[in-house]
Amino acid sequence: MSLKRIAATAAGCLALAAVAAAQQGEATPVKIAFIDVKRALLTIDEGRAKAKELQDWARPKQEELQRVGKEVADLETDLNTRRTASSDESLAELNRRLVAKKREAEDKQRVAQRDLEERQNRILKDLGEKLQNVITQFADTNRYTAVLILQPDNVAYLATSADITDTIVRLYNEKYPLAPKPAATGK
């Protein structure tokens, strides 16, 4: 089922609920809000700090992958340069080294990618759970009928008052403030 179909179904259900409530004489207004989860996760203080930590963790791995990639490129250049002047045995040895280095590079790439995805998933799970708590508390307090995830490409019109992303970011930062990092000692 596509996101558009889900959104249309949700909107239809909310409209039916509003009609049913009106027919029963209830004056309960239907309040709908939207949150841009991706923007919220990248904007909250903890999200920015976790993104920086992830970049700092990944930097040495990227440098290692670049180093191994350069070794592969150097071996390929060396092999191409020696093709006409070297013996078959030396070319075969150089080719074996090249194949081994390519495998090493591929293995390191796979391991680094897997580790990065695992770390990202743990971070997103932790931040997502906290964000959901803030959204739920805000929606309950302000009597929202629904808070939908904003997919800008799937929305034809959205009143700025219905986008609660900035409010949720502010509330998240208040509820889960970043602890100041301990000062480094110069001993």
Q: Residues 114-140: pLDDT tens digits?
A: 999 999 999 999 999 999 999 999 999
Domain contains 18: no
Domain contains 4: no
Choice between 17 and 68, residue whose per-residue pLDDT is larger: 68
Domain contains 114: yes
DSSP letter, residue 182? P
Return the CATH number at 126: 3.30.910.20
Report CA dihedral (37, 41, 43, 45) to the nearest 10 degrees: 150
Kindly state the tokens that stand for 2.
């596509």
Is the pLDDT reported for residue 72 higher than 80? yes
* Three-state secondary structure call for residue 34: strand
Kindly state the tokens that stand for 119.
């770390």
Domain contains 19: no
Domain contains 79: yes
Please give the tally of structural domains in the chain. 1
Domain contains 10: no
Domain of 163 in residue numbering reads as: 31-175
Domain contains 121: yes
Is the pLDDT reported for residue 163 higher than 70? yes
Q: Output the 3-class SS for 120-178.
A: HHHHHHHHHHHHHHHHHHHHHHCCCCEEEECCHHHCCCCCHHHECHHHHHHHHHHHCCC
Q: Rounded distance, CA 164 to CA 150, Å?
A: 10
Cβ within 8 Å of residue 68, ≥6 positions away: 101, 104, 105, 108
Choice between 102 and 4, residue whose per-residue pLDDT is larger: 102
Domain contains 168: yes
Q: Rounded distance, CA 93 to CA 100, Å?
A: 11
Report CA dihedral (108, 109, 111, 116) to the nearest 10 degrees: 130
Q: Against a cut of 0.75, is the pTM above it?
A: no
Query: Taking Cα atoms as reference points, which of 100, 155, 144, 149 lies closest to residue 128?
Result: 149
